[in-house]
Structure 1
Amino acid sequence: MPTQLEELVSFLHSPQPAVKQIALDNLVGFSSGPSASIFKYDDCRAIKDLQNLAREKSKILVQQSVTILVNLCDDDSLRHNICSDVDFLEYLSWKICDLENSSADIMCILLSNLAKENAIIKVLKFVRDDTKDNERLPPLDRSVFKSNKVMDCLMDCFVKGYDRKLNKYATFDYLSYFFADISRFKAGRQYFTEDQEYDGVTPISKLLVFTEKYDSKTRREGVASTIKNSLFDSELHDQLLKNNDLNLLPYILLPITSAQDSEIDEEDMFNLPEELQLLPEDKVRDPVSAIICVHLESILLLCTTKAGREYLRSKSVYPLVRELHKNAEDDDVSELCDRIVNVLMRGEPDSNQVEELPSKAADAEENEQDSDDEEIVEVA
């Protein structure tokens, strides 16, 4: 016999809208923690019901159903079930790009939670054909979006839509966590580090400016992790570091730098990237130590090759890290500074010796993800 709560879950597929609304009203509070197991009743039929409700026109129905799906992602089996529905995953991705969507931000959270699943890589292949898909998929404003690939459109939402500039209901900040997780995969890293056909721009270059958006921890944290994950392929380091159009290094260094770093001598200051030579007096480091750690891990990854280490030395990265180390109050920051200093200040190995990698992250597997990116976002 089903329990009272399981009976309530079964009402999600009632033919009567009022009954479904009552069920949603009562079930949101049971969608997180141990009680979430009730949604496994009847072979997880509730998941399909919630996915159908997320396509409704009612703002309340959509908001509540997506909120429940967001919270259910904390359960591995339920998250896998949600993400395994490719049609829903495609609908969700395109619906975020609907500029009239009042639930876009909660949908961004759902997409970022689903990105813990390997199946998320399918988002890279979602392409629409306006001659066939306009009725099947949510509307797309062609005055804003020039690409038929959903990944390009999500990138446009994130870059152009911050501060509610595209959609008055959304900032799209949580897409940064989605970007970080999809960059765990080689195909994802290729997307971020290669020029895209629709605009000829390297996507990661669009994200760099947000490394210092200090009013949005979510945006900065996700972007920092996306940059770091994009550096897992060491054969690209030289290209990324020396691409003047990309100008990667200053955006990794600026968040770890303060105008109060006073003991950098004139010669080292001259060798710094131009963006770091004349900092404004109010320039401070990123206020979140965990984000500083991500940037330091990016520097460690760039130390993987001899060419990378030599480039970092030539740009006075060691004096900057030394200043950070002197002022660091966080143990993790201090430890990472020590590792960078040891790598940059030691002599290079003999050409006949096997070169030791400074960080095991350089050999990351396709399914690797950082513990910092593993948290599932829940909505009260």
Structure 2
Amino acid sequence: MLEDAQTRELLGFLTLVTRLDVKSQATEYVLGLTGSADGRSFLARNADFLQALLTLTRDPSRAVVKDCYCALVNLSADESAHRPLVSQADLLPSLLKNLCDPEYDFSDQVCSILSNLSRRTDTCREVFRAIQSEGVGLAKIVEVFCTDGYNKKGALHYLGPLLSNLTQLPEARQFILDKDRCVVQRLLPYTQYEGSGVRRGGVVGTLRNCCFDYAYHEWLLGSEVDILPFLLLPLAGPEELSEDEMEGLPVDLQYLPEDKQREEDPDIRRMLLEAINLLMATKGGRKAVRDRNAYVILRELHKWEPEPDVAAACEKLIEVLISDEPEAGMENLLEVEIPEDVERKLTQQDEEERRRLEEQLLKSRGGGQRAQGESPEGRES
């Protein structure tokens, strides 16, 4: 790594007044450092470099600005750099200001950095606090996300994972679930957004996180929001159903076209199942899901599902649907405390079930290896 004299010399080149050819070589070198763990660790320990990169995002040279943003994206993908970036470089106010500028050229990189920085709960709180205190507000973030073509120079897809990360926090969920704001209703159509799995997965993750707050389940499942069809439709395929089964489904899931495709990303399918599972934590939620005939969609999904862990999640969901109601006092599954010995046993059973499903899948494919799905919230690098 760099000696002290070399460090000082390199820092001297990372200024707005440095000659362009020298500055370009310096930013290119720093970008190269972010490609290794040692390089990222070095930069994270030297806040002057982080501040210099942030300063040069205002440089007249587009190439220099691009190098700086790429370096910041790579650094933000490394959790060890989160605290220095947020606290020492104080980059959040600048990022949020640029994000809200519809003419800004590097808004996609800004979205990626904010998404990465909001993964961990501690820095997620810092991001949320900055959003609320820098004259932006979560309402503006939602508006930017939901406004098609807000920035003609960037797609802003990574605002989806940002929203998903922010809803780790109860205060962010309260905003999304505010019954007077209609935020949830604006997000629901994006569960079928074809233009980006990142945006789609971010919204599904946001909805899944909001479903942890069971006090809102009745509202979410009721006519004001009617969330269930938006969670089931991506899981539905082109299979033919009987007339009786069809009539029991929500209207949006009836008579689907022969070329209807299921959600292609297994991680998104898993999150959709998790959201439905959370909605079924209460007796009223289970009744609502049963009454909408969700079973037939989940049954066909389970027959089709190629990924063992997603198939297992689907199977557990079906078991809850077809099982008898819990005894009195145990109706809310999110409030039931499981003894440690029972939890260990259930974990062991889950692992055995996972292995069984994998063996079945390998046999059905003639021993082939299953493909690994990429997370919709995968980090930038």
Say if 2:16 and 2:59, in contact at 8 Å, map to a contact too.
no
Cα separation, 1, equivalents of 2:217 and 2:94:
35
CA separation of 1:372 and 1:338: change in aligned 2, threshold 3 A: same
Deviation at 1:170, TM superposition (A): 0.7
Deviation at 1:159, TM superposition (A): 1.3
Deviation at 1:297, TM superposition (A): 0.7
Question: What residue in structure 1 maps to residue 190 of structure 2?
Answer: 210
Say if 1:159 and 1:206, in contact at 8 Å, map to a contact too.
yes
CA separation of 1:97 and 1:85: change in aligned 2, threshold 3 A: farther
Question: What residue in structure 2 maps to residue 151 of structure 1?
Answer: 138
Cα separation, 2, equivalents of 1:318 and 1:9:
62
Question: What residue in structure 2 maps to residue 25 of structure 1?
Answer: 28
Question: What residue in structure 1 maps to residue 43 of structure 2?
Answer: 39
- 1:220 equivalenced with 2:200 (yes/no): yes
Provide the secondary structure at the position in 1 that maps to 2:274.
helix
TM-score w.r.t. the length of structure 2 is: 0.81
- 1:259 equivalenced with 2:235 (yes/no): no
- 1:121 equivalenced with 2:105 (yes/no): no
Say if 2:280 and 2:286, in contact at 8 Å, map to a contact too.
yes
Pairing 1:279-298 to 2, within 5 Å after superposition:
279-298=256-275
TM-score w.r.t. the length of structure 1 is: 0.81
Pairing 1:1-380 to 2, within 5 Å after superposition:
1-2=3-4, 4=6, 7-9=9-11, 11-13=13-15, 15-18=17-20, 19-34=22-37, 35-40=39-44, 43-84=46-87, 88-116=91-119, 117-118=123-124, 119-128=126-135, 149-161=136-148, 165-195=149-179, 201-242=181-222, 244-260=223-239, 262=240, 264-351=241-328, 353-355=329-331, 357=333, 375-378=378-381
Cα separation, 2, equivalents of 1:71 and 1:31:
6
Provide the secondary structure at the position in 2 that maps to 1:84.
helix
CA deviations over 1:199-252 (Å, ceiling 9, x no partner): x5421221211111233111111111111011111111111110x242211110
Provide the secondary structure at the position in 1 that maps to 2:74.
helix
Cα separation, 2, equivalents of 1:316 and 1:304:
17
Deviation at 1:7, TM superposition (A): 4.2
CA separation of 1:286 and 1:91: change in aligned 2, threshold 3 A: same
Identity %: 30
Provide the secondary structure at the position in 1 that maps to 2:300.
helix
Cα separation, 2, equivalents of 1:59 and 1:157:
24
Amino acid at match of 1:36: R
Which runs of 5 or more residues in structure 2 are unaligned?
A: 337-373
Question: What residue in structure 2 maps to residue 364 of structure 1?
Answer: none
Cα separation, 1, equivalents of 2:108 and 2:266:
26
Amino acid at match of 2:147: K
Provide the secondary structure at the position in 1 that maps to 2:91.
helix
Aligned length: 336
Say if 2:268 and 2:376, in contact at 8 Å, map to a contact too.
no
CA separation of 1:40 and 1:223: change in aligned 2, threshold 3 A: closer
CA deviations over 1:306-350 (Å, ceiling 9, x no partner): 110010000001111011001111101210111101111110123
Which runs of 5 or more residues in structure 1 are unaligned?
A: 129-148, 361-370
CA separation of 1:56 and 1:230: change in aligned 2, threshold 3 A: farther
CA separation of 1:32 and 1:359: change in aligned 2, threshold 3 A: farther
CA separation of 1:236 and 1:57: change in aligned 2, threshold 3 A: farther
